[in-house]
């Protein structure tokens, strides 16, 4: 049984949608994509940081949140477009230093990051060269510490206690900005940190036009001056939080091979996550914006690189499930047993009645003693995308629901079987994938990846695989016959 909703044809419109999305993402800068993501509410300010965020003019000083609450170096943290908030209450002796901005500029310089600084012509590797000691200026004669006016600049020594030492000249427009109590109530040394470079001019592109702007790096921010901005916004904090998230992925989003950031999914959510240690128990949690939560525990497999690997379905299982939330954004998180967040991803979870959902039947194996192929007792809801036929086959390869009353299994090789298969060859992936589907005059030719060879030549098992594929495809009236191949063989 299958259903096309809104009379949409999956292959044509799905391809157009994918191409359009790719073009839009390709044209948008990483920082802009992150900002748009935050603005539609995929991440919220963690309750731990709400008061501090609001006392620092929120969006003006920090921008929108780019992650949920993380733990970095045993400190609760959260990334925002313009910085990172850190909770140091466990170690701070002074109340002034219980919460602070992270030293993102210093960290990006130490990492010798090759990415651009705040979308300019300068990279963090270039910035590292600008921090070398010979660029510092000697203090003026008679300087005894603190800071001192030098014409249209303020001299600041490179010393955490502002003792006499070589340092940097900060122009008045930056000095006045960092001394604004409404923006930085903790004071410039606490909220911005020491200058790390002299002032410089670099190129950036705004609204498709190249501009020359002035920048200066500080420990916790890079300040920019753009005279073409509105007066109140000519001096700004750079998007260093966006730079760190995009360059070094502190939230672990790149550990997700599936689902992708912002992907449209339905429950069960298919997981392909690289992380953790083999044998480690990892908790997957899906949190909808309305507060609904879905959690499952997975045992990490041993990937070919020796690291942990999760491949499975995050679903409600055999127990009665709560009312399905309406279509909305959700956060998918992977936690270790000690509660530390390993990876985090933002996705859009579609309600089964969403107009972008299509339904179909999938066929599984039951009864291990005398196995037969039968359809899942309920229709499967999946987001529209490629053709219905391709979508059905790809869903088949993710395996049956993890827990059902009937106990469905699949004849397709599982990830553990593939990873431990004696005939495994270099370059094999941990799961079978669909390589090609061609339908001509009612004959469907299906080509799977070489990992299907892990069925180990057992003819009865291959017969069950062929039955699963054939019966799943024959629910579509145009298909009368099915041929199956492995990498063309």
pLDDT reading at 118 higher than 60: yes
Q: What share of the chain is helix, strand, coil (3-state, %, to 5)?
A: 25, 30, 45
pLDDT reading at 44 higher than 90: no
Q: Where in the chain is the domain with CATH 2.60.40?
A: 252-353
Please state, as a whole number, how many other Cβ atoms lie within 10 Å of the Cβ of residue 90.
Answer: 9
Please state, as a whole number, how many other Cβ atoms lie within 10 Å of the Cβ of residue 386.
Answer: 17
pTM: 0.76
Phi and psi angles of residue 155, each rounded to the nearest 5 degrees, phi first: -85, 130
Cα gap 364→343, rounded to integer Å: 31
CATH for 252-353, among 1.10.3910, 2.60.40, 3.30.70, 3.30.200?
2.60.40
Find where tokens 């970095």 sit.
Answer: 72
pLDDT reading at 314 higher than 80: yes
pLDDT reading at 227 higher than 80: yes
Contact criterion met (CB below 8 Å) for 474 and 482: yes
Q: How confident is the model at residue 369 (pLDDT cuts 50, 70, 90)?
A: confident
Cα torsion 224, 228, 231, 234 to 10°: value is 0
pLDDT reading at 386 higher than 50: yes
Model pLDDT, residue 31? 36
What is the rounded average pLDDT of the residues 259-264?
91
What is the rounded average pLDDT of the residues 357-365?
93
74 or 388: whose pLDDT is higher?
Answer: 388
pLDDT digits (tens, 9 = 90+) for 434-471: 999 999 999 999 999 999 999 988 999 999 999 999 99
Model pLDDT, residue 90? 85
């Amino acid at each position: 049984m299958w259903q096309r909703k809104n009379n949409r044809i999956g292959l044509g419109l799905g391809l157009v949608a994918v191409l359009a999305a790719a073009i839009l993402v390709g044209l948008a800068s990483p920082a802009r994509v992150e900002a748009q993501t935050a603005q539609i509410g995929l991440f919220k300010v963690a309750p731990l940081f709400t008061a501090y965020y609001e006392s620092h003019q929120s969006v003006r000083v920090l921008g929108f949140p780019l992650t949920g609450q993380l733990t970095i170096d045993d400190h609760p943290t959260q990334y925002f477009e313009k910085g990172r908030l850190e909770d140091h209450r466990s170690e701070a002796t002074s109340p002034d230093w219980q919460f602070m901005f992270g030293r993102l500029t210093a960290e990006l310089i130490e990492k010798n990051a090759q990415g651009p600084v705040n979308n300019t012509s300068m990279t963090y590797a270039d910035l590292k060269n600008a921090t070398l000691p010979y660029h510092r200026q000697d203090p003026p004669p008679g300087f005894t510490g603190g800071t001192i006016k030098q014409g249209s600049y303020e001299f600041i020594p490179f010393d955490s206690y502002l003792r006499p030492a070589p340092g940097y000249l900060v122009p008045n427009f930056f000095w006045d900005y960092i001394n604004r109590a409404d923006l930085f109530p903790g004071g410039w040394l606490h909220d911005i940190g020491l200058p790390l470079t002299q002032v410089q001019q670099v190129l950036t592109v705004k609204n498709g036009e190249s501009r020359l702007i002035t920048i200066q790096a500080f420990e916790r921010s890079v300040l920019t001056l753009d005279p073409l901005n509105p007066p109140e916004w000519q001096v700004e904090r750079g998007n260093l939080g966006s730079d760190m998230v995009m360059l070094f992925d502190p939230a672990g989003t790149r550990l997700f091979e599936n689902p992708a950031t912002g992907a449209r999914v339905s429950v069960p959510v298919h997981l392909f996550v690289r992380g953790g240690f083999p044998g480690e128990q990892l908790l997957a949690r899906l949190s909808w914006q309305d507060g609904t939560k879905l959690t499952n525990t997975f045992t990490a497999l041993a990937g070919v690189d020796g690291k942990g690997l999760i491949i499975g379905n995050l679903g409600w299982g055999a127990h009665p499930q709560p009312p399905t939330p309406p279509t909305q954004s959700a956060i998918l998180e992977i936690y270790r047993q000690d509660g530390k967040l390993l990876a985090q991803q933002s996705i859009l979870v579609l309600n089964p009645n969403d107009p972008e959902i299509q339904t179909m039947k999938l066929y599984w194996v039951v009864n291990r003693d005398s196995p037969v192929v039968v359809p899942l007792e309920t229709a499967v809801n999946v987001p529209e995308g490629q053709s219905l036929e391709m979508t059905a086959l790809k869903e088949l390869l993710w395996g049956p629901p993890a827990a059902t009353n009937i106990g469905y299994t699949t004849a397709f090789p599982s990830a553990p079987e593939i990873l431990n298969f004696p005939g495994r060859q270099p370059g094999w992936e941990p799961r079978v994938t669909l390589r090609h589907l061609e339908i001509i005059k009612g004959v469907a030719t299906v080509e799977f990846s070489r990992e299907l060879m892990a069925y180990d030549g057992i003819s009865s098992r291959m017969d069950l695989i062929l039955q699963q594929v054939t019966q799943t495809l024959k629910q579509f009236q145009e298909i009368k016959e099915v041929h199956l191949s492995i990498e063309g063989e």
